[in-house]
């Protein structure tokens, strides 16, 4: 069957480890057959086939972690993602299966629903040379690791020394990631469209090291001054990289933004209030 040039080209991806995602993929692709140009469907957490197929949208079945993994795989070629939640919270993947079926035509054609989220480029330097480079959607975290002694990290911003952080590590978060590990560690919640970087010490051995929000175009440098054998840099909770003594991590805004299609049925604050129950009054009964 030939493609209809008036319809958007859509690639469908499902988390292969989630049976509910595979069932949802079959259900939605069947319903979408005459509503878009289906240029591919795969059981992958990898958006690169959609780049090659020149997709206008990628519909992702899974949870927030699936959506983050797909976004990171797209690298410099970001494509708007429609997240269909078959997991638990569904903070980024905000569509239910019923909602994506009902709203599919608008989701695939209305560019006003596309929101931009900043990402990080993360470089790991060993012996002054860039050893590895990653992109991050949510955060990059330096964790102490075994044998779980306090570590000491040297923190600089835009080439200017700021402080030494002693404790269990440091979270460097995007606004999208502010409701993830950062929130659990006592960091602030940021509106997703804000251009900012959040620095949140993890269990600092200090009464004065509090979370810090800095400008989004800043360059953050974290040097592993005194670390453990198991000290690790973790990207989005999914990719790990060991950090040795004097290794440096340089974090800056990535050249491209993560593109996500918002649910037109939800208000801006629906997820914060509806899923996290932010601001809910105590139950005095």
The residues annotated as belonging to the active site are 64
Which residue bears the tokens 């993947």? Answer: 93
Four-residue CA torsion sign, 119, 124, 129, 132: negative
Q: Residue 230: how many CA atoms within 13 Å on its side-chain side?
A: 9
Q: What are the tokens at 81?
A: 């993602």
Instruction: Please state, in angstroms and rounded to a whole number, the distance separating the CA atoms of residues 95 and 83.
Output: 6
For residue 112, the 8-state DSSP code is: G
Conformational region of residue 283, where left means phi above 0, alpha means psi within -120 to 50, and beta covers everything else: beta
Instruction: Please state, in angstroms and rounded to a whole number, the distance separating the CA atoms of residues 72 and 258.
Output: 8
Q: What are the tokens at 198?
A: 């959040």
Decide: helix, strand or coil at residue 88. coil
CB distance 106 to 113 below 8 Å: yes
Instruction: Please state, in angstroms and rounded to a whole number, the distance separating the CA atoms of residues 37 and 24.
Output: 18
Q: What are the tokens at 137?
A: 């959607």
Which residue bears the tokens 């990207």? Answer: 235
């Amino acid at each position: 069957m030939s493609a209809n040039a008036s319809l958007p080209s859509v690639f469908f991806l499902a988390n292969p480890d989630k049976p509910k995602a595979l069932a949802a993929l079959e259900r939605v692709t069947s319903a979408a057959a005459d509503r878009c140009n289906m240029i591919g469907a795969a059981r992958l957490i990898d958006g690169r086939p959609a780049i090659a197929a020149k997709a206008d949208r990628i519909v992702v079945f899974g949870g927030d972690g699936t959506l983050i993994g797909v976004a990171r795989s797209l690298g410099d070629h970001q494509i708007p993602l429609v997240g269909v939640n078959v997991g638990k919270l569904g903070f980024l993947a905000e569509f239910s299966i019923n909602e994506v079926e009902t709203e599919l035509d608008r989701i695939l054609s209305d560019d006003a629903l596309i929101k931009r989220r900043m990402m990080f480029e993360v470089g790991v330097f060993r012996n002054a040379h860039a050893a590895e480079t990653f992109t991050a959607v949510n955060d990059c975290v330096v964790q102490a690791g075994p044998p779980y002694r306090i570590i000491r990290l040297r923190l600089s911003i835009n080439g200017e020394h700021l402080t030494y952080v002693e404790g269990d590590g440091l979270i460097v978060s995007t606004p999208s990631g502010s409701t993830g590990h950062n929130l659990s560690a006592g960091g602030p919640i940021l509106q997703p469209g804000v251009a900012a970087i959040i620095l949140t010490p993890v269990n600092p051995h200090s009464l004065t090291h509090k979370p810090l929000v800095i400008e989004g175009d800043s360059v953050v440098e974290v040097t592993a001054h005194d670390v453990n054998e198991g000290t690790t840099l973790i990207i989005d909770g999914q990719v790990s990289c060991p950090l040795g003594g004097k290794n440096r991590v340089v974090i800056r805004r990535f050249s491209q933004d993560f593109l996500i299609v918002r649910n037109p049925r939800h208000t801006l604050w629906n997820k914060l209030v509806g899923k996290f129950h932010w601001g809910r009054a105590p139950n005095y009964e």
